[in-house]
Structure 1
Amino acid sequence: MKKKISIIGVPMDFGQTRRGVDMGPSAIRYANAVERLESLHYEVEDLGDIDVGKRASVEEDASEKLKNLKAAAAGNEKLALKVDETVKEGAFPLILGGDHSIAIGTLAGVAKHYENLGVIWYDAHGDLNTGETSPSGNIHGMPLAVSLGLGHSTLTNIMGYSPKVKPENIVIIGARCLDEGEKDLIKKLGIKVFTMHEIDRLGMTKVIEETIQYFEGRADGVHLSLDLDGLDPIDAPGVGTPVIGGISYRESHLAMEMLAEAELITSAEFVEVNPILDERNKTAIVAVELMGSLFGEKLL
């Protein structure tokens, strides 16, 4: 891991309809994210929040079924530029969300610096919908598809290039709620997925070992996109789209600890923390604790 971490907050809630997730970066900071990382002897620079503007008062591009398209694209463009700048300066970009649509900007800013960027998508959902397959039109269900070059050109062409990642360089961990169009795309593209069935059957140790082996010789950098709804709602209640039967708190710590030991991760984002839906900031606290493990914190 690089010893300098640059934190970028993205208070964006354009990707879905439940309000409150725009306060996620503040909640994570309130849970002492900066102090936790500094205690691990990192040089931490908090760059503040991206000014993402405001959502439209009327629906845009209804024919495309994409809600808040222009606002989401503009916010992600700003984020991509900031992430790009951070990587150029030699720092580790740590992005705080915000809904998961911010991954569009994160990956746009990161991927241009790698020939074969690997992506770990730690999430209950595949986020592989397009305007044609999405039941809701919510862009937070589309960022992985967008990063593959699939979807509305306003989103896929952020930073002027597409695709950002290749299907063979993606590993999804924790999936348990996939739309039919996403299932078809996963099969068509051969994307590697560890559903909850595999996690239950193999155990998290085996899942992460196989993930690490999968990226060996394949990826020259690996981005971790961690949606807090990947965890079970018992452990992370403050998310917009909770799905029961998720990854446990302890399994998630083990995953982060193993990724830290492998020195695999070159950028990361923690998303979908919604304080309005939370219990005494529990989900933000969990996010910070998982950050600690990802950056090398140990019990002994």
Structure 2
Amino acid sequence: MVRVTTATTLLHFAGRAGDHNDRAMQGSPVLARELADRLGVPLAAVGVPRPALGTGWEVELASAATDLAAMQAQLDEVMTAGSRPVIALSRCAVALATLPVVARHRPDAVVIWFDAHADINTPETSTTGYLGGLALSGPLGWWVSGFGAGLAPGNSILAGTRDIDPPEQARIDTGAPLLVAPGPAFTERLLAACAGCPVYVHIDCDVLDPGIVPTDYGVPGGLTLDDLHDALTALATLEVVGVEVGEFEAAPGDDAATAAAARRIANAVSPLLT
């Protein structure tokens, strides 16, 4: 396949979106600036940081609605212009706004969901009420978020996912989304699952093994930075229609550690940036 090359637009979702704490709103701008330095393009921020609420999905979604709508409109403009988006997210719940836009503009693209969690619960199956746990199921059309749907289950792949609730496993057992679990030959299995299709890559930093970078959750058995870099190098041989990276948190009280962790993530993601 001949890879399509376009201009790149860097966006930063700066607001809250189902946050348990303020650390992703503090960490995401650090990652965004690191990506801007790598790409050499201007950085456009969407939304305004506000104190985390740490409450149920309905209140969180209503609180984030204005910023999510702005994110959706901005991404629509970028993709309409034929530019490739690279987005630094605060939380994964921002995908409620981004993925329906991707599905509308590129229905041929497969969404690769790098995440320790499947995030395909619905309000009816969630035991926690956490908005982030509904982040992929909304774009899949399994509940009504208010931001649309359109992502076909067969065009979604869970990559590196290992913390799966029983209702989510029941969905996976139907074959869509497809699960590519961590383990031997991870990159080869993931590339085979893509079947040469264009890809949109979502990365939650907790897909990595705990302790590699600061993030809200730590689930053992994850990817190393080398695993992630190798997988993204393989995906870069396909047409990459966009990239989003979320759940990167600031290390409390340690700006140097936060900056170093942002560089580690940017290094791993670098195959998709060129």
| Offset of residue 56 of structure 1 | 8.6
Give the match for residue 275 of structure 1: 250
Give the match for residue 238 of structure 2: 263
1:227 matches 2:223: no
1:293 matches 2:268: no
Cα distance in 2 for partners of 1:26, 1:264 equals: 27
Aligned residues: 268
CA contact (8 A) 1:9 1:50 kept: yes
Of 106-115 and 126-135, more deviation after overlay is shown by 106-115
Structure 2: any 5+ residue segments left out of the alignment?
none
| Offset of residue 128 of structure 1 | 0.5
Cα distance in 1 for partners of 2:264, 2:29 equals: 14
Amino acid across the alignment from 2:193: T
1:250 matches 2:226: yes
| Offset of residue 141 of structure 1 | 1.2
56 and 100 in structure 1: CA distance in 2 versus 1, 3 angstrom threshold:
closer
240 and 24 in structure 1: CA distance in 2 versus 1, 3 angstrom threshold:
same
Which residue, 25, 29, 33 being the options, matches 1:26? Answer: 29
227 and 210 in structure 1: CA distance in 2 versus 1, 3 angstrom threshold:
same
Give the match for residue 108 of structure 1: 100
Give the match for residue 73 of structure 2: 81
166 and 55 in structure 1: CA distance in 2 versus 1, 3 angstrom threshold:
farther
| Offset of residue 54 of structure 1 | 4.3
CA contact (8 A) 2:13 2:71 kept: yes
Once the two structures are superposed, the pairs formed by residues 37-76 of structure 1 within 5 Å of their partners are 37-38=39-40, 44-47=41-44, 49-52=45-48, 54=50, 66-76=58-68
| Offset of residue 27 of structure 1 | 1.3
Give the match for residue 207 of structure 1: 189
Cα distance in 1 for partners of 2:170, 2:38 equals: 41
Length-normalised TM-score, structure 1: 0.81
CA contact (8 A) 1:172 1:192 kept: yes
Q: String of CA shifts for 1:276-296, please: whole Å, max 9, x gaps.
A: 458701432222112312234
14 and 119 in structure 1: CA distance in 2 versus 1, 3 angstrom threshold:
same
SS at match of 2:138: helix
Structure 1: any 5+ residue segments left out of the alignment?
39-43
Amino acid across the alignment from 2:231: A
Cα distance in 1 for partners of 2:139, 2:48 equals: 20
Cα distance in 2 for partners of 1:294, 1:114 equals: 18
230 and 56 in structure 1: CA distance in 2 versus 1, 3 angstrom threshold:
closer
1:185 matches 2:161: no
Cα distance in 2 for partners of 1:166, 1:45 equals: 32
CA contact (8 A) 1:122 1:227 kept: yes
243 and 112 in structure 1: CA distance in 2 versus 1, 3 angstrom threshold:
same
Cα distance in 2 for partners of 1:139, 1:58 equals: 10
Cα distance in 2 for partners of 1:56, 1:235 equals: 24
CA contact (8 A) 1:270 1:287 kept: no
Give the match for residue 164 of structure 1: 150
Q: String of CA shifts for 1:150-202, please: whole Å, max 9, x gaps.
A: 22x3x1x32xxx43201111111101101122112222463210122xxx23x
CA contact (8 A) 1:170 1:191 kept: yes
After the TM superposition, list the runs of 4 or more consecutive aligned residues in structure 1 that deviate by more than 4 angstroms. 52-59
131 and 226 in structure 1: CA distance in 2 versus 1, 3 angstrom threshold:
same
| Offset of residue 110 of structure 1 | 2.0
Once the two structures are superposed, the pairs formed by residues 88-127 of structure 1 within 5 Å of their partners are 88-127=80-119
